[in-house]
Chain A
Amino acid sequence: MENRKGFSLNISKGHNFIPIERKRTIESCLLLVNRMLLKQKDNLCFGILALVIVAIPMFVESKYYFIVLNVIGLNTIVVVGLNLLIGFAGQISLGHAAFYGLGSYFSGILTVNYGFPMWPAMLVGMLATGAVAYLIGYPSLKLRGHYLVMATLGFGIIINILMGELEQFTGGHDGLMGIPPLTIGGLAFDNDLKNFYLIWSFVFFFMLAARNLLNSRVGRALRAIHGSEVAANSLGINTADYKVKVFVLSAMFASVSGSLYAHYITFISPSSYDFYYSIQVVTMVIVGGMGSLWGSLFGAGILTFISEALHIAEQYHIIAYGIFLCLVLVFLPEGIVVGIYNFFLKIKTRKAIIK
């Protein structure tokens, strides 16, 4: 009986599997080359990013473009953090507007109402947001499945309402005014250009930190959890713990970005932190490419730009936004950066094979 079983397996292997396997091997090699190139180019990319950040002010003069660039920077920080959660740990949060908002309001309220120094206020905001994220993440991530989505969705809406209703602290729907600009020593970041340098140096270092994390033990564990949670567990990885921690980290990224926003714009109101913002950042992650650090930068850049350009269309710009997301999901499901890269790589390989 057992011999017969072994025999039948040989047959099926000979006739069915080999062509598929060969195809898969080619695909695997493609992906590998792709990833090796990405890795080698990584340091180069960080160099280029630094150069671009330094050089941009030489070419851009309009105040408006600086505002757009700064908003792109702030969004990038949120998106990089969110990508750690979505792209690597495979969890989705629809409450990042709330974490972003918590950062803003902690910085705003502590400095305006209580006269806190600014940098400590930012730190307090970051830690408090992390603590809140822990409280939400701990129960919902212990369960398998996408309970985090529902928990963060509800949480985001509640926080947004509280921002409007707790008037004595937050200034209600009229917002909180007179938030001082950040200072380092005697240098105040009080105009768009100075804030450009401030925000983009934060972007640079946050991206560097994210890269470090991903190329380490923790990053591998997160990717393992995304690959197979059971297997990750069997290798001694405390998967529940890791998922909560990466969620907390992701919330902290958003919080810092929110603090920077508050000190930059000097005025905050609940409408900046509504559910729509949460959706926007998730879209940026997906459009840029889940699990791609540079995709996050790109996704934040292109979608912030598009939504600025569509301001003429007023409320209809949400529709255009939706269509754009659909198109990306249908034609470039891996996100724009990864998708286009793979496309060119395939053409190159095909040519090489034909030759």
Chain B
Amino acid sequence: MSRPNYILEINSISKNFGGLQAITRLSFNVEEGLIFSIIGPNGAGKTTAINLITSMYPPTSGEILFEGQKLFRKKPYQVALMGIGRTFQNIQVFQKMSVRENVMVGCHTQSDSGFLRCLMHTPSVWKEEKVIRQKTDAVLKFLDLDSKADMLVGGLPYGVQKRVEIARALAIEPKLLLLDEPVAGLNLQETEEMAGTILKIRDTGITVILVEHDMNLIMGISNRITVLDYGKKIAEGSAKEIQNNPKVIDAYLGKEL
């Protein structure tokens, strides 16, 4: 049924919060290796969509398939282990840990020593630590964070913290990366750098789902765009199609009277 090149398939999901219908019968498919963007006015349900994909809460109805596997009833950490990484709209970095340690936490998925082995600090833990350190260095280098590796994240500028969050998500070796407003609050130069970073991530073969308000960024780097309004999909297509779609223009600017 599922075409092999769709990494993520969303089939008619809905989500109600009490009486509020946050998402109504939303469907879209994300092709592997592309940048897929979700846009829409405030409150359109973009973040809810991301939270549903990462199983932060279950959909009221409908189903989500990741690489053909159902995500129903999976815990968020299980979704992460399957290969879906994410960042948060209001950044959730570990403020009291250094940049390196933040990324090292991300390497959790590729190591398996438990409490007992860590208490004893067995040779296998040593080996694992070494691998984690190498992996971390590689990720830090990839995102140009190596010069700040030993600084505490809490004291770094907002833009850098956002990059740390992406680095941390990359460390889990995701196949699909969900970025929730990666350039919100960044200045123009930082936004440009971030666009470069996102393209670089895509070029390593990771599929990216981007939720953003910054239209320049979206139109510049997305391969495909879905537009949400009041929890419903109102359009989907390439940047050019979206820009000329009257429904989208209405949603953003309001209808002419």
Interface residues in chain A, defined as those with a beta carbon under 8 Å from any beta carbon in chain B: 1-3, 5-6, 9-10, 13, 17, 21, 24-29, 31-32, 36, 209-210, 212-213, 215-221, 223-224, 227-228, 230-239, 245-246, 249
Contact = CB atoms under 8 A, between A and B. Distances in A.
B118 A10 contact: no
A81 to B, nearest CB: 11
Given A227-B96, A227-B97, 10 more contacts: A29-B155, A31-B155, A212-B119, A216-B129, A217-B125, A217-B129, A230-B56, A236-B77, A236-B81, A246-B115
A24 B154 contact: yes
B121 interface: yes
Query: Which size class do B's interface residues fall under?
Result: 35 or more
Interface in B231-251: none
A252 to B, nearest CB: 10
B156 to A, nearest CB: 7
Contacts of B214: 2, 5-6
B187 A231 contact: no
A233 B214 CA distance: 28
B54 A234 contact: yes
A39 to B, nearest CB: 11
Given A212-B118, A237-B108, A217 B191 contact: no
A6 B191 contact: yes
Interface string B101-120: 10011111101011100111
A218 B113 CA distance: 8
Contacts, number: 150
Contacts of A9: 185-187
Interface in B138-174: 150-152, 154-158, 168-169, 171-172
A227 B93 CA distance: 8
A122 B30 CA distance: 57
B252 A231 contact: no
A217 B113 contact: yes
Contacts of B97: 220, 223-224, 227
Interface string B199-226: 0000000000000011110000000000
Given A28-B155, A221-B105, A238-B75, A5 B98 contact: no
Contact of B156 (A28, A217, A228): A28
The 6 closest A-B pairs by CB, nearest first: A28-B155, A227-B94, A236-B80, A231-B92, A216-B118, A212-B121
Contacts of A219: 118
B166 to A, nearest CB: 12
Contacts of B168: 231, 235
29 contacts: A2-B215, A6-B191, A6-B214, A10-B187, A17-B157, A25-B155, A28-B155, A29-B151, A29-B155, A31-B154, A32-B151, A32-B152, A212-B121, A213-B118, A217-B107, A217-B132, A220-B101, A220-B105, A221-B105, A227-B93, A230-B56, A233-B77, A233-B80, A234-B77, A234-B85, A234-B92, A235-B169, A236-B80, A245-B115
Contacts of B62: none
A259 B29 CA distance: 60
Contact of A237 (B77, B88, B93, B120): B77
Q: DSSP majority for the A interface?
A: helix
Given A32-B98, A219-B118, A17 B158 contact: yes
A227 B108 contact: no
A144 B214 CA distance: 35
A199 B80 CA distance: 43
A31 B81 contact: no
Given A17-B158, A24-B154, A217-B128, A235 B120 contact: no
Given A216-B118, A217-B118, A239-B77, A227 B86 contact: no
A33 to B, nearest CB: 10
Contacts of A235: 77, 80, 85, 105-106, 108-109, 168-169, 171-172
Contact of B119 (A24, A29, A209): A209
B20 interface: no
Interface string B72-99: 0001110011000110100011111110
A215 to B, nearest CB: 8
A183 B75 CA distance: 49
A216 B94 CA distance: 16
A227 B88 CA distance: 14
* Most B C-beta atoms less than 10 A away, residue of A215, A221, A235: A235
A323 to B, nearest CB: 30
Contact of B96 (A17, A209, A210, A223): A223
Nearest to B184: A9
A306 B111 CA distance: 44
Given A27-B155, A221-B108, A223-B94, A234 B150 contact: no
A29 B151 CA distance: 7
Given A216-B129, A217-B111, A236-B172, A24 B77 contact: no
A29 B154 CA distance: 10
